[in-house]
Every structure is written in C-alpha cells, then in structure tokens.
Amino acid sequence: MKKLLLLLIIFSITSCKTKVNTATPSAKKTGLIAEKAMVVSARKEASDIGLAVLKKGGNAFDAMIATEMALAVVYPYAGNLGGGGFMVYRKADGQTGTLDYREKAPLLSTKDMYQDENGEVISHLSKVGGMAVGVPGTVAGIFAVHEKFGSMPMAEILEPVIALARNGYVVTANQEASLGRYRENFVRVNRDSIFYSKNFAEGDTIRNLALARTLERIAENGRDEFYNGPTGEKIIAYLQRHGGIMSLQDLREYQSFWRDPIHVKYNNLNVISMAPPSSGGIVLGQILKMIEGFPLEKYGHNSVEMIQVMTEAERRAYADRSFYLGDPDFVDIPVEVLLSDKYLNGRMDNFSFSKATPSSEMEHGAITAKESMETTHYSIVDQFGNAVAATTTLNGAYGSKLYVEELGFFLNNEMDDFSAKPGVPNMFGLIGAEANSIAPGKKMLSSMTPTIVEKKGKLWLVLGSPGGSTIITSVLQTILNVEEYNMSMQEAVDAPRFHHQWLPDEILFEPNAFAPDVLNTLRIKGYHINEGESTIIGKVDAIRVLPDGKLEGGADRRGDDTAAGF
C-alpha cells in the first residue's frame, strides 16, 4: 500500500512538472497592478525613490536619474557611479531613441595590453584592479538625460538619493551573502580593508556617508565635478596607485551618445532595442526574425521543438555577434544586412529537427566578442505615458573590486568586455574577434538589451535584464512568454529559462526546472545540456501595459527585485 502511495506521489510530481514546462500556462498570477505609473528595479528602495519622483510630478527621465543613482547607493553589486549603461526610451508621442553611456578604453590602452610576451592572455588583468577599469559613463549619462528631457532640478531629483545614502538602507539576505562572498577579494585588490569589507549581516543598516558627500557635490557642481573636478581627480589618483592607466584627460574627453535604436518587426510587435556598441538589439532582432515562421505556441512552452528552434537561431545569431559586432565608431557593422529577411531566412536553411547543428560547423554568416552576470536593469512608465528601459553595469560583481573609499563607490572592470585576443573567451565564455579588439577611446561590446515593445503601434512592454551574454536570451524569452504563451508579466519573468550562445556549444538550463524527458530527447538529438553549473539565467524587471491601460509589473523572483506603482 505504502509502495503504491509512493508511486502515485512520484507520478503526480512528474506529470505536474511536465505540465508546467510544456503546456501554455493560463495568465493567472500577476505582478503589481498600478493605474498610472510604475518603476521596477533590483531593489525596493530604488523603485520607491523613482516612484516618489513621479509622484512629485517628475517624468520618466527624472525618475531614471533617481533610480539609477539610488541603485548606486543600495545595490553596489551593479548599481554605480563608476560604470556605464544604456537607456532606451519611448515618449508618449511615440518618439523613440537611446542613450549610450557605455564606458570606453583609456587613451593609453593597447590592443595586446592583457597579453604576456608570448601572446598568452593574462586573464586577471582585465577583471580586477586598475588595468581592468574603463572610463566611467554613468554620471555623463544622467546629465545628458537631464539636459534633454529632465523636468525637475537635478538637486531636487538627487535629494532623496542623498538622504538614502546618509540615513542608510537595510541589508537583505541576498546582499549579506554577496558581500560575504567578495569580502576577501575587496581587501586583496584594494590592499586594505574597505567600507564594504566590514561584516554586514541581514537586517543591518548601511550608511554610506562618503557616497552621500560625493552625490551632494555632484548635485551642486554638476557633471564637471566628476569629469573635470575634485571627484575625478580622486578617482585618477586612486587608480594610478593601483596600476591603472586612466588619466584626467580620459575623464575630460568622455562623451555619452544619443543613438538611433534598432527596430525589428515580429508578428504585430515592433521591438525597439539598443544598437551597437551593444549587441543586444541586433542579436535579439536576428533571433526573433529567424524564429518568426515557426509555430512556437503550437509546440508548447519549453517543449523540445521550441527549445530546438530557439537554440538553433541563438547559435547562428551569436556566431554573427562574435565576428561582426563592436564599437560602431571604430568598425563598420553591416546592420541592415544582418537584420534583413533575405540574410536571416538563409541562416536557418541547414536547421533540422532531427539533430543539432554542431557549432564547430556553424560559423558567422558569409557577409562574423564578449561580457557579466552582474549588471542591473530597471523599467519605468510614467503617468504621462513615457517609458524608459535602462540597463547599467560595473560588469563583474562590484566591478574591478577597486573601491574609492573617499568617494564611496566601486570602479568597473568593463575592459574585460573587449576581446583580449581573438578566439580567447572572456568571463562569459564569449569569443571575440577583430571588431571588438582594444583600441584607445573605443567602447567595448556589450550584451545589454534594454528593450521597449509596441503592440499594434502602442506601448506594450518595457523590459531588460542583467546576465552578461544571457541578457539577450532572457529578454527574448520574456517577450515570447507573453506574446506566444499568454503569460502575465510576472509569470513571464519568473518562468524557467535556457540559453545558447554558439560557443561553448551547450544549452544552459536553469537547474531542476525543465522536464527530464525534454532534456533527454534533446541529448539524443545531439545537444549538449548544461544544467549543473547554471545558477540563474537573467533577472528581468519588466512592465506590461494591460488592455485597459493599467500597468502590470514583473519583478524577477530570482533577486530582491520589486515593483512600485500608483
């Protein structure tokens, strides 16, 4: 009898799992619903501050500045003053655009700066310490946004952020674990203990007075405080004591750029995403165009056929990424060809459902990089109908681990996003080529994919994710979960994800979330399955405009992410 009961339990668990992973879920579990405005970010404090700015009458761009800076206070893991990012926007009147505030290589950089005399890559140089740091763009980014679209004085926007740094924020369990993981690294790289190497435990309050003072000076003195003033001088002095090659000239010459977005049609959707130096928009667009003709809904969510079609399209798009993409101010990128129907239809010609296409037989198309998990994304829709999707990063967790004690923030290790040597993988296993080689003043290729989706010409989704090379496929799956599988925003963000990036030739799956028979069938067809090493794939923060005009938040269950709205 006991045996029978056990068998019944095992059967019901297995069949439940299969159902969850292959059937089209009904849109039941929703995220926060708001009438007019919403901010979704990696931390409640940052979402609340962004929302408070909106409540005061500010617009999505004022809220972007507040949220970006609040993340620098409460989420030093990825939020930053010492890093960079990208913003995609859609104004209420339908006008779209993007801001590139990506870091760039210092003027003294050289193509082989991370290679020894035998041409071997010295991997740690681009990941930790002074040599890893690219010229930061975030402060330039918020001032560019403010100048073009801001409606409130900068000092007023920054006031609650400064108060947050001064009054403190409460450490979460995730944050305690992450600070603990890197404590020894902080001390080693900085050659001393730093503010964040203290033993902070869940429930403790962190007051970062040095950062409060830095933000106060920026509020008072403007962009120049960072790029041509005392804050910049302190950054350079600290970097030069730690083997860095960045100079004041690098800071003075830094510019952010307004760039045209990538627009891609998929069914009745218009997907608006980031152009190079991010690979996000082009790769996302290529995958969407390659899978458009396949009946994904009919295959079922996370079914063998759906995973095959998406994997094969991802394999082909990432092969192109690694050959063709880099900083558009340094290399010619055949954007139109890469996104054309003619080119993309041909790319899937050799795909067959009967077996995997080995990546060794799949190169870039005949007309062919690199990145970190530790980025952060936030999405905003304001009460006027403007939308902002912004992804910002230090690259690795806490960037280069270099922390300027006097200023209260970490410096990025974005230089690892360059290809240190063609063919040698970076920290995400991404392979780069000449297009993403290092040059003075050049921007390193990114995977950040802040994205806005219109449905039938109207604002529909605002989304993005951290996750290095997995950012693009996380954004892709979230869009498809809503469009093809009728999920709510929250369900779409929470659903288990998988990822393929050409090389290494394997499908990465979130562990214990996919039906064993699906994985076995894929193995039989020649796919390499990696379920063991993956922890999470992406951490999506998204907003959906519902048919009645209300907003639904999708705050990823994988972190401390929170939606706030009114």
Active site residue ranges: 375
In the bound complex, which residue of the shown chain has the CB atom lying closest to ligand GLY?
A: 446
Residues pairing with 33 in the sheet: 552
- Single residue of 417, 556, 560, 561 touching ligand GLY by CB under 6 A: 417
Classify 13 as helix, strand or coil. helix
Residues pairing with 266 in the sheet: 269
Which of residues 270 and 446 has its CB atom nearest to ligand GLY in the complex? 446
| Under rule CB under 6 A, residue 395 binds ligand GLY | yes
Whether residue 556 contacts residue 466, with contact meaning beta carbons closer than 8 Å, is answered with: no
Which of residues 375 and 419 has its CB atom nearest to ligand GLY in the complex? 375
| Under rule CB under 6 A, residue 447 binds ligand GLY | yes
Which of residues 446 and 481 has its CB atom nearest to ligand GLY in the complex? 446
Stretch binding ligand GLY (CB under 6 A), from 23-31, 150-158, 216-224, 442-450: 442-450
- Single residue of 206, 274, 448, 536 touching ligand GLY by CB under 6 A: 448
CA nearest neighbour of 467 among 504, 507, 497, 437? 497
Least Å from the CB of residue 56 to ligand GLY: 32
Least Å from the CB of residue 472 to ligand GLY: 9
Residue with tokens 């950062």: 211
Could you count the other beta carbons within 10 Å of the beta carbon of residue 292?
A: 16
- Single residue of 393, 437, 465, 477 touching ligand GLY by CB under 6 A: 393
For 334-387, the DSSP string reads -HHHHT-HHHHHHHTTT-BTTB---GGG--S----------EEEEEEE-TTS-E
Residues pairing with 461 in the sheet: 453, 544
Stretch binding ligand GLY (CB under 6 A), from 145-153, 213-221, 256-264, 445-453: 445-453
Whether residue 106 contacts residue 245, with contact meaning beta carbons closer than 8 Å, is answered with: yes
Least Å from the CB of residue 254 to ligand GLY: 17
- Mark residue 178 as left, alpha or beta (left: phi above 0; alpha: psi -120 to 50; beta: remaining): alpha
Least Å from the CB of residue 466 to ligand GLY: 8
Least Å from the CB of residue 308 to ligand GLY: 26
Return d(Cα 179, Cα 176) in angstroms, integer: 5
Helix (H) or strand (E) holding 6: helix 2-22
Return d(Cα 407, Cα 172) in angstroms, integer: 23
| Under rule CB under 6 A, residue 420 binds ligand GLY | no
- Single residue of 48, 371, 483, 541 touching ligand GLY by CB under 6 A: 371
| Under rule CB under 6 A, residue 141 binds ligand GLY | no
Stretch binding ligand GLY (CB under 6 A), from 285-293, 320-328, 446-454, 553-561: 446-454
Return d(Cα 175, Cα 181) in angstroms, integer: 10
Stretch binding ligand GLY (CB under 6 A), from 32-40, 251-259, 316-324, 440-448: 440-448
| Under rule CB under 6 A, residue 375 binds ligand GLY | yes
Residue with tokens 């975030």: 138
Which of residues 301 and 443 has its CB atom nearest to ligand GLY in the complex? 443
| Under rule CB under 6 A, residue 137 binds ligand GLY | no
CA nearest neighbour of 376 among 395, 391, 397? 391
Whether residue 490 contacts residue 31, with contact meaning beta carbons closer than 8 Å, is answered with: yes
Could you count the other beta carbons within 10 Å of the beta carbon of residue 116?
A: 10
Which of residues 448 and 452 has its CB atom nearest to ligand GLY in the complex? 448
Residue with tokens 């292959």: 22
| Under rule CB under 6 A, residue 446 binds ligand GLY | yes
Which of residues 85 and 168 has its CB atom nearest to ligand GLY in the complex? 85
Could you count the other beta carbons within 10 Å of the beta carbon of residue 458?
A: 11
Which of residues 314 and 491 has its CB atom nearest to ligand GLY in the complex? 314
Q: Which residues bind ligand GLY (CB under 6 A)?
A: 371-372, 375, 393, 395, 417, 446-448, 468
